[in-house]
């Protein structure tokens, strides 16, 4: 018998010992590693500080090899049918009436170094799946997969899984924290009649969500097992790392209310005692509200944590308040929400600047099932940044309770099994929708509302082309005079964007994404230049809302003008921003230096012109939408000439630059005026 550390999985049968019990009494000792009960045909594996078995367990192949050696050497065991049949190194069957004894271990070593509660035999089997049957030609009564995670995980990270694809069922934690190698039962047929009591072979999903780290989840489709599992080992890619976008504690990021018991001010700081552990961290930014003495109430305070139920914040109040109705909650996150819309009630948003096919057709609108509202009460100024929104949502996705503000209409969404909604790529934030949501909406777009206006250029949205967020089966399709007419089981609307798939036949494909030009009842139409013909449809022929997973708003460039002191101190100083030329547009000679020169307008169609009263002024330029130089000039670089002139202290000055799909700063340095005079 050898001694092992918790990171070791036993693979060598020479490292195991066994007790053979032929009496049927089922008695076991703490020293047992393997206990073989021939009367009840049960094999038991135990963890104990006094034996060699560790919480890391043993491979199923090792157990099979060990049993072979014992059956060969033991005069009693050889009298009984052998308990296991190998299929591969990672797939076995327990047969001839044998099974694993899955009662709780009575040893004292335990899982995770604690008592042995939960240390069952199946919880100690590694790198192998199995079935249980009475023998050849009989039905299985049990089937187990083995789940192995691939990727870096901290030893304290808790991986969990679910086998039912809904929005409410609680997931199950794997027994040990850190990387996973554990058996999970997915099939039960108690009387082995071929009609299972439970069959979860078609769905399995595993998660790692540790707040402050990146989240990950993976399912059968991700590992090429979308058709279902059998009793063998499966390897799931699952890893996490520190999340650089998380800068607040979960307690602050969640926006949840933390009840306060007392507030004590000494004229410099206020010490807060909470009714329960607050979970805050140093540098969390919190709102203190509801205190009877309003001097305690303060926003945007940096918290210093002094204990599990105490913290301090800077405040000049010198008072004490007991049993206060006051509370603390994360600054800005306390005013956020996430909600799901009912089918056919999806939020329509407009003003996007994306294309859906090779023709470059723009998508001005899309529909969204999920709305992340960054400022529910419209009280924040400015609105929260993308990073704040992200932290709030990540905090919701580790909750074990409902996170849906609209539960009364659209049902419970348990946070820790809700699919991810946001992901940063660099500094750009992408929303993550979902195709084919079983039992709920078929399609799920995600939108962020009331975000910081400065973040417009770095937000990317996943949305759909129709408020009807379910696929329709096509029953007929034909083209006549360059117009395609489709009959389907859903009612779409004129202007919807629809993707057709699964239509065969015809010289020109009917499949693709199109904007509907008409819709009446179950029929809808769209334009397609091609010959007159009909398509062939079957049950796989579908009309689905078009998916747009990178919707962006028209890009807005920032133009900052810096003026030197000669201009700022001159009360008569003015500035004007002109297009240097209109070459990218109509090219009609409306250049700077001519009487038809064009003053550049900002995003609100206001001329960028005025008095140089400040050292720095910033303007927005609608890069993708500005057509002052002509229709062709949208989304084209804009050469500009900036001029400024004063009277008493600033001479005339000019500068040239180019507005691009980026922010731009231009400085105007006017020489000191020494010659101007107006004595009138």
* C-alpha–C-alpha distance, residues 235 and 381, integer Å: 48
Cα 470–Cα 468–Cα 392 angle in degrees, nearest 5: 85
Decide if 431 contacts 389 (C-beta within 8 A). Answer: no
Q: What is the CATH number of domain 556-668?
A: 2.60.40
* C-alpha–C-alpha distance, residues 132 and 214, integer Å: 38
The structural domains of the chain, with segments of one domain joined by +, span 13-237, 250-331, 472-547, 556-668
Task: For the beta carbon of residue 330, count every other beta carbon within 10 angstroms.
Answer: 28
Quote the radius of gyration of the chain (alpha carbons, Å).
34
What is the pLDDT of the chain when averaged over all its residues? 91
Closest by CA position to 100, among listed 35, 49, 147: 35
Report pLDDT for 172. 96
Q: State pLDDT tens for residues 30-64.
A: 667 898 999 999 998 877 656 667 778 899 999 99
Decide if 129 contacts 88 (C-beta within 8 A). Answer: no
Report pLDDT for 112. 36
Phi, psi dihedral angles at 273 (to 5 degrees): -115, 125
CATH 2.40.30.20 fits 250-331, yes or no: yes
Report pLDDT for 352. 87
What is the mean pLDDT for each group of 10 consecutive residues in the chain (680 residues)?
Answer: 51 90 72 86 79 79 97 95 97 97 55 46 93 94 97 94 94 92 96 96 97 97 94 97 97 97 94 96 94 88 92 92 89 95 83 69 85 92 95 98 95 96 97 72 87 94 89 94 94 92 92 93 94 94 90 93 98 98 96 98 96 96 94 95 97 98 96 90
* C-alpha–C-alpha distance, residues 225 and 56, integer Å: 27
Say which DSSP state 341 is in.
Answer: P
Q: State pLDDT tens for residues 482-532.
A: 999 999 988 899 999 999 999 998 899 999 999 999 999 899 999 999 999
* C-alpha–C-alpha distance, residues 576 and 644, integer Å: 6
Report pLDDT for 117. 43
Q: Is 282 exposed, middle or buried (0-12, 13-18, 19+ CB in 10 A)?
A: exposed
* C-alpha–C-alpha distance, residues 29 and 26, integer Å: 10
C-alpha distances out from residue 70 to 32, 64, 79, Å:
15, 10, 12
Report pLDDT for 283. 93
Reported as type and span, the H/E element at residue 86 is strand 84-88
Q: Give counts: helices (H), strands (E), the chain.
A: 5, 51
């Amino acid at each position: 018998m050898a001694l092992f550390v918790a990171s070791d999985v036993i693979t060598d049968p020479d490292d195991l010992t066994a007790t053979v019990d032929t009496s049927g009494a089922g008695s076991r000792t703490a020293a047992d590693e393997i206990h073989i009960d021939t009367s009840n045909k049960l094999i038991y594996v135990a963890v104990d500080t006094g034996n060699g078995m560790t919480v890391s367990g043993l491979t199923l192949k090792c157990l099979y090899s060990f049993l072979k050696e014992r059956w060969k050497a033991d005069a009693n065991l050889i009298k009984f049918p052998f308990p296991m049949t190998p299929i591969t190194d990672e797939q076995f069957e327990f047969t001839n009436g044998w099974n694993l004894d899955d009662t709780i271990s009575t040893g004292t070593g335990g899982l995770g170094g604690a008592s042995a509660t939960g240390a069952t035999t199946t919880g100690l089997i590694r790198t192998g799946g199995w079935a249980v049957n009475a023998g050849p030609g009989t039905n299985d009564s049990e089937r187990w997969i083995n789940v192995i995670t691939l990727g870096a995980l901290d030893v304290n990270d808790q991986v969990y899984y679910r086998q039912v694809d809904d929005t409410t069922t609680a997931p199950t934690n794997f027994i040990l924290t850190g990387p996973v190698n554990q058996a999970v039962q997915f099939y039960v047929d108690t009387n082995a009649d071929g009609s299972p009591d439970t069959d979860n072979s078609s769905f399995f999903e595993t998660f790692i969500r540790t707040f402050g780290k990146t989240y990950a989840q993976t399912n059968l489709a991700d590992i090429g097992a979308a058709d279902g599992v059998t009793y063998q080992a499966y390897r799931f890619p699952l890893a996490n790392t520190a999340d650089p976008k998380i800068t607040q504690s979960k307690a602050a990021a969640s926006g949840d209310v933390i009840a306060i018991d007392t507030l004590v001010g000494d004229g410099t700081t206020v010490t807060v005692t909470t009714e329960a552990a607050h979970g805050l961290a140093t540098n969390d930014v919190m709102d203190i509200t509801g205190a009877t003495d309003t001097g305690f109430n303060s926003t945007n305070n940096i918290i210093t944590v002094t204990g599990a139920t105490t913290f301090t914040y800077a405040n000049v109040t010198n008072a004490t308040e007991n049993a206060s109705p006051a509370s603390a909650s994360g600054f800005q996150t306390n005013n956020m929400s996430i909600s799901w819309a009912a089918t056919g009630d999806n939020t329509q948003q407009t003003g996007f600047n994306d294309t859906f096919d090779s023709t470059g057709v723009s998508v001005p609108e899309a529909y969204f099932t999920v709305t992340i509202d960054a400022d529910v009460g419209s009280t924040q100024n400015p609105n929260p940044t993308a990073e704040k929104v992200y932290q709030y949502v990540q905090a919701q996705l580790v909750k074990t309770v409902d996170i849906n503000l609209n539960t009364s209409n659209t049902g419970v969404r348990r946070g820790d099994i809700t699919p991810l909604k946001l992901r940063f790529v660099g500094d750009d934030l992408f929303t993550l929708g979902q195709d084919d949501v079983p039992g709920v909406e078929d399609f799920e777009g995600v939108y962020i509302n009331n975000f910081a206006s400065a973040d417009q250029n770095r937000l990317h949205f996943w949305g759909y082309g129709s408020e009807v967020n379910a696929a329709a089966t096509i029953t007929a399709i034909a083209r006549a005079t360059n117009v395609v007419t489709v009959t389907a089981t859903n009612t779409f609307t004129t202007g919807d964007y629809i993707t057709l798939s699964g239509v065969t036949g015809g010289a020109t494909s009917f499949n693709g994404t199109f904007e509907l030009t008409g819709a009446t009842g179950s029929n809808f139409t769209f334009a397609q230049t091609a010959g007159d013909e009909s398509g062939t449809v079957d049950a796989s022929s579908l009309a689905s809302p078009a998916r747009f997973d990178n919707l962006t708003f028209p890009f807005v460039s920032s133009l900052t003008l810096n003026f030197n002191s000669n201009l700022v101190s001159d009360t008569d100083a003015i500035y004007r921003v002109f297009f240097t030329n209109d070459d990218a547009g109509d090219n009609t000679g409306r250049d700077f230096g001519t009487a038809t020169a064009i003053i550049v307008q900002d995003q609100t169609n206001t001329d960028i012109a005025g008095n140089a009263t400040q050292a720095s002024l910033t303007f927005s330029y609608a890069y993708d939408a500005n057509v002052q130089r002509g229709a062709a000039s949208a989304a084209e670089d804009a050469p500009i000439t900036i001029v400024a002139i004063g009277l008493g202290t600033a001479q005339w000055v000019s500068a040239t630059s180019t507005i691009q799909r980026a922010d731009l700063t231009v400085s105007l340095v006017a020489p000191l005026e020494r010659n101007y005079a107006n004595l009138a």
